[in-house]
């Protein structure tokens, strides 16, 4: 689903603005229509995205919303160079085992994460 609920988006923005430096490298996993780019890109210019559905890139103009768009699967992508991972509406689409593996990599590498 390319769209996410609008609930708590202002709280998320507040968290980012009050907790992070603007130069932080962010990876938005499964950006769909680009919700988090709309919310944060103005203040956090180093945002990339990884999207599994290639058609979403043109459908939602993701190239103009993120610096880099990776077409791929987060389970197979080395995201350890990022300082913050956004996983909005993503984990529920993975098996419990795959979700745990990704979260363990995030934890082991001291990467900040929004789920």
Residues 41-82 have pLDDT tens digits of 999 999 999 999 999 999 999 999 999 999 999 999 999 999
Q: What are the distances in angstroms from CA 34 to CA 26, 83, 95, 113? A: 13, 19, 24, 17
Phi and psi based region of residue 35 (left: phi greater than 0; alpha: psi -120 to 50; beta: remaining): alpha
pLDDT at 85: 98
Whether 57 and 78 have beta carbons less than 8 Å apart is answered as no
H or E element, residue 27: strand 26-29
Cα→Cα distances 14→76, 81, 82, 88, 98, Å: 31, 24, 21, 16, 30
On whether the pTM is more than 0.95, the answer is: no
**What pLDDT score does 89 carry?**
86
Beta bridge partners of 29: 50
Q: Helix H segments across 21-89?
A: 35-40, 55-59
pLDDT at 1: 53
Q: For position 4, what pLDDT does the model report?
A: 62
Question: How many residues in total does the chain contain?
Answer: 115
Per the DSSP assignment, residues forming a β-bridge with 50 are 29, 70
pLDDT above 80 (res 29): yes
Residues facing residue 112 across a β-bridge: 84
What is the tens place of the pLDDT at every residue in 5-14? 566 789 999 9
């Amino acid at each position: 689903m390319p769209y996410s609920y609008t609930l708590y988006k202002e709280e998320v923005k507040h968290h980012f603005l009050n907790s992070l430096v603007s130069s932080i490298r962010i990876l938005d996993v499964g950006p769909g229509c680009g919700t988090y780019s709309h919310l944060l890109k103005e203040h956090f210019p180093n945002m990339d995205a990884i999207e599994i559905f290639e058609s979403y890139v043109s459908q939602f103009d993701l190239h103009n919303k993120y610096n880099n768009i990776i077409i791929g699967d987060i389970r197979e992508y080395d995201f350890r160079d990022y300082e913050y991972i956004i996983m909005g509406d993503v984990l529920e689409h993975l098996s419990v085992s795959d979700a745990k593996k990704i979260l363990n990599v995030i934890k082991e590498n001291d990467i900040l994460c929004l789920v």
